[in-house]
């Protein structure tokens, strides 16, 4: 029993000594704290981040202009191709047969035309001496003209079939990547039916929605940095679309991306916009905040009492905060010195030694 009483007296003595050290009257050895001078402002700016996605500038469904039997697909999904590279072929047998028939017709017409020219020349010589009638000469000349027209028509048909032969090979309209194969070899396809899906992997755009109230923050041809996969990439604002998104209610900023590195469509893209907000206050590091009751905040400033520096508490209104600092306001004089470290060691009324530090909190906040 006696042992318990002695322990209780010891604890009580230590408690008294501890609190007497923190009390204004009992701090014989002054505590040293770090302070900074607040710089009142009429406004502050913050960096707002908005997200969107990376899209290929060109994405095409490729198909033939002709009907036909698909005999060969020359590329697989994921293949990189260059402009003009053959991608697929239709069956050419019917067209080749038609070309052979037309060439045979052309040869036959050339023989007939040669004979018709000889006949016309002979009749023209005989007509000089009136050995043939004008009607016979006219018929010979008309036959020659008719054969020439037939040859011209055959030439046009050969040209038409040659174009159809050329169009039976599907070629890449630009350099890019094959992302999807839509039909298989052996299929009978119709004109304009999609066969392959392709995208331009050299020209990408970022489509990012921002609130309409910030429309003046971005303009066409403006240089802007885009963050893609945590990597900053240079970009230029190509256009701002003012048709509001039905769900997000934002305007769409379209940014041309310039990067030598390969990137994937549908990647997340972010841009950061500086926003100025009119509100009187000052910047402080997070270490200057003291949590008050009911979720409120306060700060400790350096005051004077009996010509000695003492701690004073002031309620703080916080307007903005991040992981490094806050922007807020309190009922203090301009250029007041706020304690920024060691708040756990002091209480209001305590006499302290203050070391003033020069800190650009606003710069620290936006790094």
CB atoms within 10 A of CB 74: 15
**Are 279 and 294 in contact, with CB atoms under 8 Å apart?**
no
In CATH, the architecture of 24-43+278-365 is Beta Barrel (2.40)
Does the domain made of 63-198 have the CATH classification 3.40.50.2300?
A: no
- Compare 3 and 361 and report the one with higher pLDDT: 361
Model confidence at 28, pLDDT cuts 50, 70, 90, reads low
Give the tens place of pLDDT for each residue, 113-147.
788 788 777 777 776 777 767 777 777 778 777 88
pLDDT at 207: 92
Which residue intervals of the chain bear CATH 2.40.50.100? 63-198
Q: What is the length of the chain?
A: 367
What is the token pair recorded at 24? 């204004």
Residues with Cβ within 8 Å of 78's Cβ and at least 6 positions away in sequence, in order, are 177, 178, 179
pLDDT at 14: 44
pLDDT at 269: 92
pLDDT at 271: 93
Share of the chain above pLDDT 90, in %: 28
Q: Is 204 helix (H, G, I), strand (E, B) or coil?
A: strand
**Beta partners for residue 278, in sequence order:** 43
Which residue intervals of the chain bear CATH 2.40.30.170? 48-58+203-277
Give the tens place of pLDDT for each residue, 214-264.
888 888 889 999 998 888 989 999 998 888 777 778 889 999 988 777 777
pTM assigned to the model: 0.61
Give the tens place of pLDDT for each residue, 301-349.
998 776 678 889 999 999 998 888 999 999 998 888 999 988 888 888 8
- Residue 72 CA to residue 87 CA, distance in Å, equals 9
Question: Which residues in 57-162 belong to E strands, given as ranges?
Answer: 59-63, 68-73, 80-81, 86-90
Q: How many CA atoms lie within 13 A of 219 on its CB side?
A: 3
Class of domain 48-58+203-277: mainly beta
Could you tell me whether strands 297-305 and 308-321 are parallel, antiparallel, or unpaired per DSSP bridges? Answer: antiparallel
- Compare 173 and 14 and report the one with higher pLDDT: 173
Mean pLDDT, residues 153-180 taken together: 87
Window from 14-28, 50-64, 195-209 with minimum mean pLDDT: 14-28
What are the phi and psi torsion angles at 295 (to 5°)? Answer: 75, 10
């Amino acid at each position: 029993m006696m042992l318990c009483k002695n322990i209780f007296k010891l604890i009580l003595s230590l408690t008294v000594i501890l609190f007497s050290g923190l009390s204004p009257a009992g701090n014989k050895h002054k505590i040293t704290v770090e302070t900074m001078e607040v710089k009142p402002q009429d406004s502050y700016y913050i960096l707002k981040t908005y997200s969107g996605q990376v899209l290929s500038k060109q994405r095409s469904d490729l198909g033939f202009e002709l009907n036909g039997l698909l005999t060969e697909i020359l590329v697989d999904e994921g293949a990189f191709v260059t402009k003009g590279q053959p991608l697929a072929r239709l069956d050419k047998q019917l067209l080749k047969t038609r070309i052979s028939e037309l060439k045979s017709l052309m040869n036959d017409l050339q023989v007939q035309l040669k004979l018709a020219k000889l006949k016309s020349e002979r009749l023209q010589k005989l007509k000089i001496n009136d050995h043939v009638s004008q009607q016979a000469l006219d018929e010979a000349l008309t036959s020659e003209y008719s054969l020439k027209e037939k040859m011209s028509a055959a030439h046009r048909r050969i040209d038409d079939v040659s174009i159809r032969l050329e169009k039976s090979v599907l070629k890449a309209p630009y350099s890019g990547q094959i992302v999807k194969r839509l039909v298989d070899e052996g299929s009978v396809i119709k004109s304009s039916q999609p066969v392959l899906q392709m995208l331009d992997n050299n020209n990408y755009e970022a489509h990012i929605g921002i609130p309409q109230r910030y429309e003046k923050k971005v303009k066409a041809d403006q240089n802007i940095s885009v963050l893609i996969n945590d990597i900053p990439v240079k970009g230029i604002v190509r256009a701002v679309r003012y048709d509001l998104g039905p769900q997000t209610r934002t305007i769409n900023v379209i940014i041309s991306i310039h990067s030598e590195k390969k990137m994937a469509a549908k990647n997340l893209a972010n841009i950061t916009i500086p926003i100025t907000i009119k509100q009187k206050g000052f910047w402080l590091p997070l270490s200057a905040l003291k949590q008050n009751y009911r979720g409120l905040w306060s700060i400790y400033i350096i005051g004077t009492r009996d010509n000695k520096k003492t701690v004073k508490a002031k309620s703080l209104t916080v307007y903005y905060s991040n992981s490094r600092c806050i922007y807020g306001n309190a009922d203090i004089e301009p250029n007041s010195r706020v304690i920024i470290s060691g708040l756990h060691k002091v209480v209001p009324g305590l006499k302290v030694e203050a070391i003033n530090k020069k800190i650009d909190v606003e710069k620290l906040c936006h790094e």
